[in-house]
Amino acid sequence: MKEENCGMVNVTKGQGENLTELFNVEYKNRTGFQAFFEKVKGKRIAVLFDVNTKPYAREMIEQLKGRGCHVTEVYYPDVELVPTEDKCDFGYEKAKGSEYLLAVGSGTLNDMTKSVSTRLGVPCGVLATAASMDGYCSKGAALMRGGMKVTDTVHTPEDILIDPDIIKKAPKRMTAAGFGDIIGKYTCLTDWRLSNILNGEPINNQAFELMEMALSDCVGDFEALTKYDGDAVCKLMNALITAGTSMAICGNSRPASGSEHHQSHFLEMDFVRRGEKIPMHGLKVAIGTLVSMELYNYLRSCDVGIPQRERIWELVDELPKIDSIKEMLEKMGCPTRFSALGVRRETMEEMIEKAYTVRDRYTVLTFIHELGLTESVKPILMEKYY
């Protein structure tokens, strides 16, 4: 890790133009997380971690204790931690009386910690353990409630701590999932523009441009990323954090979550209902991106009335070629068929029909449904992506 890439970065967040709040992204350097430790010195801190992140949590706990902190350990022995109500309740009860909550992990632990800290009314932070998803600094927490996946509005972490050595050592499949999450921005941003054209949905230009930058940064260093070069993985991490920043600016997940995410969410709920292990979110998003791109291209071949036809054709033409995205995903180790993730055939068929209902958000899935094209495109999607 080059020295110039280390240090603490102040990043603005907020809604609309009211960007008055700050969070800190701090890369570990020769002096460690100096600013963070100075900030929390002597405080009562709850550290949330699971069996996978336990080694990093233990090291962090010792460092916190060495700075006079009273540490409460909130340990989840789960190999595959699911953010259910009872798990969040457990964290809430254990963390009562704490002045600050620190997650040691990535997606699930970060979301649960944000949720618990919001409920307790205290700040939180995260020691990131993988460049696996873009929700580190988002205002949303994806949780399971009553067998359904919901997104609660929560605190964003005040501190995001990144140790390049930890990120580099993360399982490659987690890095692949982070890349898949970023690649999904191609269709996500196109969905936003589609809704703007058809429904007049406003676009927050600042959030949109930040997301475009995140995508460009990631794809621009792709070859180095395939070699899991330390700087390239940290660029992916920066891109993921920037993506989360755009959500914070917009006040919702529109800049980062479109039809590709709705497919992932639909499948996640099915895995939970069946009591089965949930494949990584970013891997499902990656395949969902291919499906959504296929839907956009399918519009070109349809002999139906397409409103705002020319403007929509421009959107389709601006998307990258499906084969090029598929090749990139394969190089990163992302599956490109849902069957490779254990999705049942009937579940994917149902996903094609119903994923547009997962969120009250207009996407290409909604458009295809309104045009009455779902059944005609289903065999194509099943052949190519199941």
What pLDDT, in 10s, does the model give residues 71-95?
999 999 998 888 999 999 999 999 9
pLDDT at 135: 81
pLDDT at 10: 37
pLDDT at 172: 92
Residue 187 in this model has a pLDDT that exceeds 50? yes
Residue 4 in this model has a pLDDT that exceeds 70? no
- One-letter-per-residue 3-state SS of 312-364: HHHHHHHCCCHHHHHHHHHHHCCCCCHHHHCCCHHHHHHHHHHHHHCCCCCCH
In angstroms, rounded to a whole number, what is the distance separating the alpha carbons of residues 355 and 122? Answer: 35
Tell me the average pLDDT across 210-214. 86
In angstroms, rounded to a whole number, what is the distance separating the alpha carbons of residues 2 and 27? Answer: 11
Residue 146 in this model has a pLDDT that exceeds 90? no
In angstroms, rounded to a whole number, what is the distance separating the alpha carbons of residues 114 and 43? Answer: 18
pLDDT at 385: 98
- In percent, the amount of the chain with pLDDT more than 90 equals 68
In angstroms, rounded to a whole number, what is the distance separating the alpha carbons of residues 67 and 34? Answer: 11
Q: What is the pLDDT of residues 104-133, one digit of tens each?
A: 999 899 999 999 999 999 999 999 999 998
In angstroms, rounded to a whole number, what is the distance separating the alpha carbons of residues 112 and 123? Answer: 13
In angstroms, rounded to a whole number, what is the distance separating the alpha carbons of residues 167 and 233? Answer: 7
CATH topology of domain 3-169: Rossmann fold (3.40.50)
Residue 246 in this model has a pLDDT that exceeds 90? no
pLDDT at 194: 98
pLDDT at 245: 83
Q: What is the pLDDT of residues 317-355, one digit of tens each?
A: 999 999 999 999 999 999 999 999 999 999 999 999 999
pLDDT at 161: 95
> Exposed (0-12), middle (13-18) or buried (19+): which is 39, by Cβ within 10 Å?
middle
pLDDT at 14: 33
The overall average pLDDT reported for the chain is 90
Tell me the average pLDDT across 162-180. 93
Is 3-169's fold the same as 172-204+254-385's? no
Domain ranges, ordered by start, for the chain: 3-169, 172-204+254-385
Q: How many CA atoms lie within 13 A of 71 on its CB side?
A: 23
Tell me the average pLDDT across 165-193. 95
CATH architecture classification, 172-204+254-385: Up-down Bundle (1.20)
Task: Mean pLDDT check: name the lowest of 25-39, 88-102, 369-383.
Answer: 25-39
Q: What is the pLDDT of residues 153-163, one digit of tens each?
A: 898 899 999 99
User: Residue 209's pLDDT band (boundaries 50, 70, 90)?
Assistant: very high
Task: Mean pLDDT check: name the lowest of 1-5, 245-249, 270-274.
Answer: 1-5
Q: Higher-confidence residue: 5 or 145? A: 145
Q: What is the pLDDT of residues 261-312, one digit of tens each?
A: 999 999 988 988 888 888 999 999 999 999 999 999 999 888 789 999 999 9
* Cα–Cα nearest to 39, from 103, 128, 102, 129: 102
Residue 15 in this model has a pLDDT that exceeds 70? no
Q: How far is CA 188 from CA 61, 123, 193, 212, 244, in A?
A: 38, 30, 9, 11, 14
